[in-house]
């Protein structure tokens, strides 16, 4: 069972909680019908992201066998054969289609929610297939595709409940995701040099640092603007502005982890840094208190 959990990259499902952003920030978290839609959407996106991870492992199997860490992945280590992995991909895609169609036919999703959310899923799938098949070796494009995954999760979360997400929130998510994607490449470059990924031969530490600072700054600015635009109540806006302190601490702690021999993957950093995990949890509780209390 463990090998299948590793194959599905269940620990990376944490990224898919971005789907809950629109319902959380729109004060709809306790709306049963909306929450049901997001719950099913979360399941669909988890299955789809696992599909992409398995596909990528199949494409990269020979390279992964030579990697000190990736060689232990189920496909690279031979625990799961490639034919079986391909069968799992087909099964997962079939399940995703069945669930998505069922949500529409049983009127859980409206026709607009079904069409738009399906389009977002198709774009996510298409971009990641292109990434796995070669775009991950193209500088800049690889970072943009990595970042798009975070943004598409938020767009998907809004599409399934027909909630209009603030442009400032979209810009915040995009900037932070670009910052973290650059950080991931920086961590890989620091840890393994340019040999671990072909695309790393195009990057330098100075280049990655420079644009990390750009997107770090813009993330804080965009988030601050979202806080100002978030509510009409001036008292609530003031409380929202205090949350900027949490965001600044989180990105600074993430940056510090990058400097301390981390590979830079946001999920690995969060799981390995208890302080970062605690502060992130406190931020969520704080925001929940402002929005719902």
Query: CA torsion angle for 205, 206, 210, 213 (degrees, to 10)?
Result: 50
Q: 251 near 219, Cβ under 8 Å? A: yes
pLDDT band at 70 (very low <50, low <70, confident <90, very high): confident
DSSP of 137-148: GSTTHHHHHHHH
Whether residue 198 has pLDDT greater than 90: no
Q: Could you tell me the two tokens for 244?
A: 């900027």
What pLDDT is stored for residue 45 in this prediction?
97
CA-based nearest residue to 185, from 202, 166, 163: 202
| Band of pLDDT at residue 203, cut at 50, 70 and 90 | very high
Residue carrying the six token digits 């060689």: 71
pLDDT band at 16 (very low <50, low <70, confident <90, very high): very high
Q: Give the Cα separation of 109 and 123 in Å (integer).
A: 19
Element (H, E) at 58: helix 32-59
**What pLDDT, in 10s, does the model give residues 112-140?**
999 999 999 999 999 999 999 989 999 99
Q: Which of 68-72, 134-138, 221-225 has the lowest mean pLDDT?
A: 68-72
Report the distance separating Cα 39 and Cα 87, nearest Å.
26
3-state SS assignment for residue 293: coil
CA distance 146 to 163: 25
pLDDT exceeds cutoff 80 at 232: no
Cα separation, 240 vs 224, whole angstroms: 9
Q: Which residues contact 64 (CB under 8 A, 6 or more apart)?
A: 57, 70, 71, 73, 75, 76
Q: Answer with the residue of higher pLDDT: 183 or 64.
A: 183
Nearest Cα neighbor of 189 from 175, 176, 207 is 207
* Tokens found for residue 69: 């860490």
| Mean pLDDT calculated for residue range 187-215 | 84
Does residue 187 or residue 276 have the better pLDDT?
A: 276
User: Sorting pLDDT into bands at 50, 70 and 90, what band is 190?
Assistant: confident
pLDDT digits (tens, 9 = 90+) for 133-188: 989 999 999 999 999 999 999 999 999 999 999 999 999 999 999 999 999 888 88
């Amino acid at each position: 069972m463990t090998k299948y959990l590793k194959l599905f990259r269940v620990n990376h499902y944490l990224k898919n909680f971005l789907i809950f952003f629109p319902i959380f920030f729109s004060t709809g978290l306790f709306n049963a019908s909306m929450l049901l839609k997001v719950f099913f959407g979360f399941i669909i996106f988890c299955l789809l992201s696992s599909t992409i991870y398995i596909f990528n492992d199949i494409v990269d199997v020979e390279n992964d066998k030579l990697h000190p860490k990736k060689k232990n992945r189920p496909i690279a280590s031979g625990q799961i054969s490639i034919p079986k992995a391909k069968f799992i991909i087909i099964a997962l895609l079939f399940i995703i289609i069945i669930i998505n169609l069922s949500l529409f036919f049983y009127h859980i999703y409206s026709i607009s929610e079904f069409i738009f959310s399906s389009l977002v899923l198709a774009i996510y799938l298409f971009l990641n297939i292109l990434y796995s098949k070669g775009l991950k070796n193209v500088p800049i494009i690889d970072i943009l595709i990595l970042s798009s995954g975070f943004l598409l999760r938020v767009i998907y979360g809004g599409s399934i409940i027909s909630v209009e997400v603030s442009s400032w929130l979209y810009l915040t998510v995009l900037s932070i995701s670009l910052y973290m994607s650059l950080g991931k490449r920086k961590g890989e470059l620091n840890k393994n040099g340019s040999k671990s990924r072909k695309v790393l031969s195009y990057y330098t530490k100075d280049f990655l640092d420079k644009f990390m600072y750009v997107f770090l700054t813009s993330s804080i600015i965009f988030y601050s603007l979202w806080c100002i635009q978030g509510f009409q109540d001036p008292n609530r806006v003031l409380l929202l502005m205090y949350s900027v302190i949490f965001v600044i601490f989180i990105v600074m702690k993430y940056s510090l982890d990058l400097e301390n021999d981390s590979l830079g993957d946001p999920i690995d950093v969060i799981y390995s840094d208890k302080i970062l995990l605690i502060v992130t949890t406190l931020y969520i509780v704080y925001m929940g208190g402002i929005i719902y209390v």
